[in-house]
Amino acid sequence: MKIVFLDKSTVGNVSNLELLNEFGEVICYDETSADQTIDRSSGADIIITNKVIIDKKVIDANPDIKLICIAATGMNNVDLDYAAEKGIVVKNVSGYSTFSVTQSTFAMLFSLINSIHYYDNYVKSGSYSKSPIFTHHDREFAEIKGKTFGIIGLGVIGQSVAKIADAFGCKVVYYSTSGNNTSQPYPCLKLDELLSKSDIISIHAPLNEKTNNLIDLGRLKTMKSTAVLINAGRGNIVNERDLAYAIDHEIIAGAALDVFGQEPIQADNPLLKVQNKENLIMVPHIAWASKESREMLIKGIYQNISEYMKHV
């Protein structure tokens, strides 16, 4: 088998990528642009893609393709209907990033509410060395114990976050974006009620017609002025222009974002122009990307290819 990984850089340096050599020749490209996809897929039996689009044009130009492995959970970069019509098997990987996203959610939360960057700079700048007392109180922080922790999207990751929040002594509530997940061991609220009652709101939902632009200025205004918002779901769930406005006008206390409407973030994104920078944390879609998570992803691709090979 000839296996082509079109965007290996999206998974970084992983120690177990050599597992794929078991199945045949493996060719890896760090990145592949749209105009390179057809040529690089030529002669491949198996395509591995994270974000590279595999559409009708690519499939028609490469009749040797038998299996498309998506190095992610989301499958919207592949024309699934046309692949099925052509007898091409498409496999994704799920469940590999649950603990990584959970850990990253709380890392962002604590960095935001505990003002870690401010205090770190206070010490490193030499200001602490000049202090007449042993501590410093210029930026207050509060414990999350006893706070209401609202989760938008209580799937596998949302449930994992809920367990940790519960362990910290938070009152966990949630909103089901599908409207079907209503039997969890936490109160299920309507969205506006969750927003108005929660001190911490964490998003772990997929992007679809029900969640696109779900959190706009109107919804941000229903939140407590002391509340913080975390988005580890998908960027377009939160209206970025409205969020920037809400932070600078102190409609909410702050936000932490791992995802953006366009990735990489565009240079003209209003979030990059926020004046109250200390109330906004942004990281480059890394919540999923622990070393262990990326190795589990490769293992999942290996298992998908192995399962396919059993039936050919």
Strands in the chain per DSSP E: 2-5, 25-28, 46-49, 67-70, 89-91, 148-152, 171-175, 200-203, 228-231, 254-257, 280-282
Active site residue 292: no
Say whether pLDDT at 100 is over 90.
yes
- R_g of the chain, CA atoms, integer Å: 22
Say whether pLDDT at 194 is over 90.
yes
Say whether pLDDT at 178 is over 90.
yes
Active site residue 219: no
Question: With bands split at pLDDT 50, 70 and 90, how would you rate the model's confidence at 311?
Answer: confident
Question: Do the beta carbons of residue 13 and residue 293 sit within 8 Å?
Answer: no
Tens-place pLDDT, residues 274-307: 999 999 999 999 999 999 999 999 999 999 999 9
Active site residue 285: yes
CATH class of 2-96+291-309: alpha beta
Tens-place pLDDT, residues 35-45: 999 999 999 99
Do the domains spanning 2-96+291-309 and 98-282 agree at the CATH topology level? yes
Question: With bands split at pLDDT 50, 70 and 90, how would you rate the model's confidence at 89?
Answer: very high
- Domain boundaries along the sequence of the chain: 2-96+291-309, 98-282
* Domain topology for 98-282: Rossmann fold (3.40.50)
Q: Which of 40, 204, 234, 294 is catalytic?
A: 234
Say whether pLDDT at 209 is over 90.
yes
Q: Which of 18, 263, 292, 307 is catalytic?
A: 263
Tens-place pLDDT, residues 228-275: 999 999 999 999 999 999 999 999 999 999 999 999 999 999 999 999
> Tokens in use for 183?
């039997």
Return the pLDDT at 312. 82
Amino acid at 7: D
Return the pLDDT at 203. 98
Say whether pLDDT at 59 is over 90.
yes
